[in-house]
Structure 1
Amino acid sequence: MLFISDIHGCLPALERALEWADKLNCRHLILLGDILNHGPRNPVPDGYNPPRVAERLNEHAERILAVRGNCDSEVDQMLCQFPLLADYSNMLLGKQRAFITHGHLWNDTKLPPLARGDIFCFGHTHIPMARWQEGRLMFNPGSVTLPKGGYAPSLGHFDGTHLTVMGLDGNTIEQAEINEY
C-alpha cells in the first residue's frame, strides 16, 4: 500500500505518486489528508488543480482509505467519490494495529490511546518519519507537494514488513520494520 499525504491540490505531485503506486504494485492508497486545498498558510503550488486532482483520485476510489486534514472540507467531499471526512481510522498492517490520522488533532506529541507495538500514521507536518519511539512506530510519509525541513517531496510505502518513506526520486529517506517491536 502507498501512503500519500498533503497533496494540497497539486496535480503533478499526485501524478508522480500514482506512478509509484503502479511501479510498486500497490493495491491500496492511504490518503492522510489535505488532499485538494492548498490552505491559507501555504503557497499555491505549481500545478494547482483541485478539480483534476479529485477526478484522478476518483479513478482509484475503490482503492482509497482517506482521512480528513485541516484543509479538507465538506465541499471537497462533494468532488470526491470516496469518504474523506473521518478524523481518523484504524487498520491492520500485518498483525499490528495502525491508527491513521492527518496529525492536526492527534500527533506525535498528542497520541491517541495506543498499545506497545501499535503504529501511528500521520501527515500534517510535511516532515518524513519512520521510527520506533517508546514502543510505538511513528510513521509520517512527509508531503508529496510541500515538503518541509529540507526534505524532498516524499510518500510512504508498506511492503508487508517495512514502512518506508521514500522521495519521489525513489531514494529511501527513513524505514522501519513493523515487526521490530
Structure 2
Amino acid sequence: MLFISDIHGSITALNKALAYKIKLGAKHLVLLGDVLNHGPRNPIPEGYDPAAVAARLNQYADCIVAVRGNCDSEVDQMLCDFPLLAEYNWLIVAGKRLCLSHGHQLNPQQLPPLAKGEGFVFGHTHLPVAEYQDDVLLFNPGSITIPKGGHPASLGHYDGQCFRVLKLDSGEPLMSCQWPT
C-alpha cells in the first residue's frame, strides 16, 4: 500500500508520489485527505491544478481507498471517480484493523476504540510519524506538498511487514515501524 496525504491540489507532487506506486509495486493507494484544495491557511503549492489532480487520480480509481480531509468538500467529489467523503475508513490487514482518518477529528489524542496491536493512520499535521503508543501503531506519512516541522515532503509505504515514511524526492526512508503479523 502507498499512503499519500495532503496533496492540496499539486499535480507536480502527485506525479512524483505516483511514480512510487510502480517502483514499489504498491497495489493500493490510500489517500488521507486534503486532496484537491490548498485551504485558506496554506500557500498555493507548486503545480496547483486541482482538476489535473482529480483526473490523474481517477486513472487509479479502482485501487483507491480515501478519507475526507478538512479541505475536501462535496464539490471535490464531483470531480473524483472514487469515494472521497468518508470521515474515516477501516482496513483489515493480516487479521488486524487499521483505522484511516485525516486526523482533524479522530487523531492520536482522540483515537477510535482500538485493540492492542491494531493501527491508526492519519494525515492533517503534515508531520511524519511511525511509532507505537500504548500498543497501537500510529502512522502519518507526512505531506507530499506542504511538509512542516523542517521535514521534507514525504509519503508512506506498507510492504506487508513494515510501515515506512519515505522522502518524496529520493525514496530514502525517514522513519519506519514494524507491524507484527
TM category, shorter: over 0.9
TM-score by length of 2: 0.98
Give the 4+ runs in structure 1 shifted more than 4 A: none
3-state secondary structure, aligned to 1:179: coil
Hey, what's the Cα distance between the residues in 1 that align with 2:48 and 2:90?
30
Assess if the C-alpha contact under 8 Å between 1:94 and 1:161 holds in 2.
no
Shift of 1:95: 2.5
Q: Give 1:171 deviation, angstroms.
A: 1.0
1: CA distance, partners of 2:144 / 2:178: 22
In 2, distance between residues paired with 1:28 and 1:80?
Answer: 16
Per-residue deviation, residues 9-64 of structure 1 (Å, max 9, x unmatched): 00010000100111001110000000000000100001000000000000000010
1:179 is matched with 180
User: Is the 1:155–1:165 Cα contact (8 Å) retained in structure 2?
Assistant: yes
More deviation in 162-171 or 32-41? 162-171
Q: Does 1:8 align with 2:1?
A: no
The aligned residue for residue 81 of structure 1 is 81
Within-5 A mapping of 1:8-27: 8-27=8-27
- Partner residue in 2 for 1:151: 151
- Structure 1: stretches of 5+ with no match in the other structure: none
For the aligned residues, what is the CA RMSD?
A: 0.8
What do residues 100-142 of structure 1 show as CA deviations (whole Å, max 9, x unaligned)? 0100010011111111111000000000001011110000000
Question: Who is 2:94 aligned against?
Answer: 94
Quote how far apart the aligned CAs of 1:92 are: 1.7
TM-score by length of 1: 0.98
Identity of aligned residues (%): 56
